[in-house]
Structure 1
Amino acid sequence: MNLKEKLQHKDFIITGEITPPKGTDLTEIYQIAEELTGTVDAINVCDSPMAKMKMSSIMAAHLIEDKTGMETIPHITCRDKNIIALQGDLLGASQLGIKNILAITGDDPTAGDHPEASPVFDTNSIGIIEIVQNLNQGYDHNNNQLTGDTDLTVATAANLGADDLDEEIARLETKVSAGADFIQTQPAYDLETMDNFLSKTEHLDVPILIGILPLTSFKMANYLDSNVPGIKIPDSIITRMKDQGAEEGVKIAQEFLKKAHSKIDGIHIMSAKRSDVLLHILEGIK
């Protein structure tokens, strides 16, 4: 079964994440995808995250699928292209065999490695979701008929630890109404935050994959807790990470996953280029 079918059958879904290279060498990316084949259901392919230029997410996703057979979820952002180009990319992605995308608004380019770049933001993530559903029905954004349609599954992101959770859920409701097929959340580190989010989203009839970002150091734990909106790391975990490294972070992720597994539809593990870390974390549910 492909990802769409697994979502429809309500299987427990596991997704990973890859950032394309700043260049043309995909050797490492291919190796990671091959190592994860048979373990994860699909791999997210980031679209120049933090506004730092990387290979096209759609092109990288196509090359990964062609080389390894691994199903992908390329990210599509509104930052760099207007509404015409976005639709053209989605049509092309469909014809390249891409079956899924994650719709996100994107980071401000002033924070990236090309701060002089002009942001576009013709629309937002909700707009991309609506566009995908229009293309799936054979129409463009302005309801002009296409010569053929797409068959794209579209994911959306959620911040389960948002300061204003009611506002975040209201936005999620809009995304689901627009046609989002499933949700991938930001990282969770404690069951209380996760349970609160899940209790408030029970009415959303789409699968929710809980984000897991393994900690690699005490410094990383402090940074995420202090600087990333929506991520709250319990003091007990920060204390555990003192003088510890990635191995302790994996143990923490394993413990969380073991407790959360029966409550959730799936997980999205953000382990970047560490397939060994992802596979190690999954030992927690065996």
Structure 2
Amino acid sequence: MSLKARLKEGIIVGDGAMGTLLYQEGIHGCFEELNITAPEKISRVHQAYIEAGAEIIQTNTYAANRHKLARYQQENNVKELNEAAVAIAVKAAAGKAYTAATIGGVATMHQEKEPLEERVASLKEQADILLDTNVDGFLLETFYDFQELIELLKYLRPLTEKPIIAQATLGDIGVLHTGRHLQEALEELEALGADVAGVNCRMGPYHMLQSLEEISLLKTAGISVYPNASLPNVRDGRFSYQSNPTYFGDMTKALVEEGVVLLGGCCGTTPDHIRAIREAVERDNLVPVKSKQVKERTAQTFMDAEPQLPKLTDIPEGKTSVIVELDPPKALSGVPAFMDGAKALTNAGVDAVTLADNSLASSRIDNLALGTKIKSEGTRPLLHVACRDRNIIGLQSHLLGLHELGVRDILAITGDPAKVGDFPGATSVYDMSSMDLIRLIKQLNEGTSFSGKDLGAKTSFTIGAAFNANARRLDREVQRLEKKIEVGADYFMSQPVYSTERIKEIAEAVAHLPVPVYIGIMPLVSSRNAEFLHHEVPGIKLTDEVREQMKALSGDREASEKEGIRLAKELVDEAMKHFSTLYLITPFLRYNITETLTQHIREQERLTAGSR
């Protein structure tokens, strides 16, 4: 009987984890490399699962794509490793079990930096190799990015009549991490030709059962589940799972009653788990169900958003929107001056005061604390959120906290690496890039957490993104801005610019963008300040003329400050010809300087309005 026919005949038991057993032997690194260097180890795992009762065994090819093999310098061995894996599995099965060529997803819960097209290309390359082998079918598993799975299934289905088992990975109970409900995902897989559609990894049997309770049976495709053994435990850097084979057996009947026809195991499962499933299937004479009662989904009800200030992107005709950066102080003694500065700037007419998130990796007073404090005194805070200091859990928690405190304006940045700051031994987290963070905030605005869970309310952030206006290739930087807009950026804030000619170039380069660009202007206060910015701060470049002008006044603080203000006013005047959005950066908490520039901008507005 072919595997295609067997999948329609009754309950079928798959195998369990490959990596778990190899890991328990003390093997680390590239498991797929063992297909060549230690094929006997892979064969022993296959044999153990067949002896435990598995009718389908997977080839040891889960990560045998160019993208993942590159981590081990094996990217040039894609064909060799995949073909060797198939040979091992077919020999081990030898008429006792079916073989499924496994292709695993590339993206993880940590969103990938590589474009979808590149990731899918590596999966298609692997698929082409496996299509030329004598496996009985294909098993696509552990796809955190559902679009990868969709594109691979679209590619693979027309090229083979062999059965395809397509398994997505849940972000939370009943949903993918984008918030898409499992029912919709499985139905799409079915429509694209999957013989079996299901889920694997990330969750144990309990949470997978809860997820299945909310879905109905599919019309033509079977349903599969390959749960993890349990939630993982970490000790001394090593992952481990509860040894609970009996529990797996006890959960088998309930899973079958929810429509499952193919059961196997993922991370942490062993031949003992598969044996327990097999024994339960035979003991209880389990057969596929023809109908089931579907648990009603919990309705998504979103709370009404509280009244909001006009967005920074909603700029009235003839008005110039001004935001001013006032860096949180490093010492507690600087808080009174900071608070005075925020008040002075608000009185001068700024639209928001923006607070950096430990810029240049230097520890400062938490911008959330100070942002909340100035908000309570009538200043609108715009908070930078850096990816450097928080993992995904912390970032989402932080953002939800901001929302609850009424902070709605965010600048999403990657953040300067820790080694450049005053704690060079600190760890830079970087679970996300700025692009990923923008996606996350956009998802929160849709009422969905990173894992896909319903938040019960939508956040209402306006999402800012950084713009390196001094990039050598301005056209490439603008292309990056376009990508940020695609993922959800509402406006941009640029690095400081020190040339009127550069402002003109920027205006022309970004004219087509559908969102505002706040041009950064940071007044200079001394020649030393100018040289530091030019030579040591990433993304900032001064013209030789400006540096010479500041150098001529070296040693005279008052004259240097006046010259810095004069130069900044020239930049402001030029910027106002092209932009209605300006971003002033306060140097060294000397807010009187940006207060003066704000007053200048407002005066220029009045003069322009009076001349109409």
Query: Quick check: TM above 0.5?
Result: yes
Query: Aligned-pair distance for 1:246?
Result: 1.2
Question: Which residue number corresponds to residue 251 of structure 1?
Answer: 566
Is the contact made by 1:29 and 1:64 (CA closer than 8 Å) also made in structure 2? no
Show the 5 A alignment for 1:150-229.
150-229=459-538
In the aligned structure 1, how far is the partner of 2:539 from the partner of 2:332?
34
Question: Which residue number corresponds to residue 594 of structure 2?
Answer: 278
In the aligned structure 2, how far is the partner of 1:116 from the partner of 1:7?
39
Question: Which residue number corresponds to residue 5 of structure 1?
Answer: 311
Q: 1:218 and 1:109, CA in 2 relative to 1: closer, same or farther beyond 3 A? A: same
Q: Once the two structures are superposed, what CA deviation does each residue of 1:129-175 show, in whole Å capped at 9, x if it has no partner?
A: 11111111100123221122211111111011101222211211111
Tell me the number of residue pairs that the alignment of Structure 1 and Structure 2 aligns: 285
Query: Aligned-pair distance for 1:95?
Result: 0.4
Show the 5 A alignment for 1:32-181.
32-38=341-347, 39-66=349-376, 68-181=377-490
Q: 1:150 and 1:24, CA in 2 relative to 1: closer, same or farther beyond 3 A? A: farther
In the aligned structure 2, how far is the partner of 1:16 from the partner of 1:116?
31
In the aligned structure 1, how far is the partner of 2:483 from the partner of 2:599?
36
Question: Which residue number corresponds to residue 267 of structure 1?
Answer: 582
In the aligned structure 2, how far is the partner of 1:24 from the partner of 1:228?
25
Is the contact made by 1:211 and 1:269 (CA closer than 8 Å) also made in structure 2? yes
In the aligned structure 1, how far is the partner of 2:397 from the partner of 2:311?
26
Query: Aligned-pair distance for 1:230?
Result: 3.8
Query: Aligned-pair distance for 1:55?
Result: 2.0
What is the SS of the residue equivalent to 2:492? strand
Question: Which residue number corresponds to residue 19 of structure 1?
Answer: 327
In the aligned structure 2, how far is the partner of 1:256 from the partner of 1:212?
7
With structure 2 as the length reference, what TM-score do the two structures score?
0.45
In the aligned structure 2, how far is the partner of 1:3 from the partner of 1:208?
20
Query: Aligned-pair distance for 1:239?
Result: 2.3
In the aligned structure 2, how far is the partner of 1:222 from the partner of 1:29?
26
Question: Which residue number corresponds to residue 90 of structure 2?
Answer: none
In the aligned structure 2, how far is the partner of 1:248 from the partner of 1:238?
11
Is the contact made by 1:215 and 1:221 (CA closer than 8 Å) also made in structure 2? yes
**2:592 maps to amino acid:** D
Greater relative contact order, per chain length (Cα 8 Å cut-off, separation 6+)? 1
In the aligned structure 2, how far is the partner of 1:260 from the partner of 1:3?
25
Q: Once the two structures are superposed, what CA deviation does each residue of 1:201-220 show, in whole Å capped at 9, x if it has no partner?
A: 12211111110111111222
Query: Aligned-pair distance for 1:22?
Result: 2.8
In the aligned structure 1, how far is the partner of 2:547 from the partner of 2:329?
31
**2:360 maps to amino acid:** M
Question: Which residue number corresponds to residue 233 of structure 1?
Answer: 542
Gaps of 5+ in 1: none
Is the contact made by 1:77 and 1:106 (CA closer than 8 Å) also made in structure 2? yes
Query: Aligned-pair distance for 1:4?
Result: 4.0
Query: Aligned-pair distance for 1:269?
Result: 0.8
Query: Aligned-pair distance for 1:50?
Result: 1.1
In the aligned structure 1, how far is the partner of 2:457 from the partner of 2:450?
15
Once the two structures are overlaid, the 10-residue window that deviates more, 143-152 or 76-85, is 143-152
Is the contact made by 1:3 and 1:41 (CA closer than 8 Å) also made in structure 2? no
Q: Once the two structures are superposed, what CA deviation does each residue of 1:214-245 show, in whole Å capped at 9, x if it has no partner?
A: 11112222333334444332232222212321
Q: 1:270 and 1:2, CA in 2 relative to 1: closer, same or farther beyond 3 A? A: farther
In the aligned structure 2, how far is the partner of 1:22 from the partner of 1:228?
19
| Percentage of pairs with the same residue | 33
Q: 1:233 and 1:207, CA in 2 relative to 1: closer, same or farther beyond 3 A? A: same
With structure 1 as the length reference, what TM-score do the two structures score?
0.93
Once the two structures are overlaid, the 10-residue window that deviates more, 119-128 or 137-146, is 137-146
Query: Aligned-pair distance for 1:6?
Result: 4.8
Gaps of 5+ in 2: 1-306, 554-559, 604-612
Is the contact made by 2:326 and 2:591 (CA closer than 8 Å) also made in structure 1? no
In the aligned structure 1, how far is the partner of 2:339 from the partner of 2:497?
28
Once the two structures are overlaid, the 10-residue window that deviates more, 83-92 or 109-118, is 109-118
**2:372 maps to amino acid:** H
Q: Once the two structures are superposed, what CA deviation does each residue of 1:173-209 show, in whole Å capped at 9, x if it has no partner?
A: 1111111111110111112212212211122111111
Query: Aligned-pair distance for 1:3?
Result: 5.9
What is the SS of the residue equivalent to 2:573? helix
Rg bigger for which structure? 2
Query: Aligned-pair distance for 1:87?
Result: 0.5
Query: Aligned-pair distance for 1:284?
Result: 3.8
Query: Aligned-pair distance for 1:247?
Result: 1.0
Q: 1:90 and 1:119, CA in 2 relative to 1: closer, same or farther beyond 3 A? A: same
Question: Which residue number corresponds to residue 289 of structure 2?
Answer: none
Question: Which residue number corresponds to residue 51 of structure 2?
Answer: none
What is the SS of the residue equivalent to 2:382? strand
In the aligned structure 2, how far is the partner of 1:238 from the partner of 1:165?
23
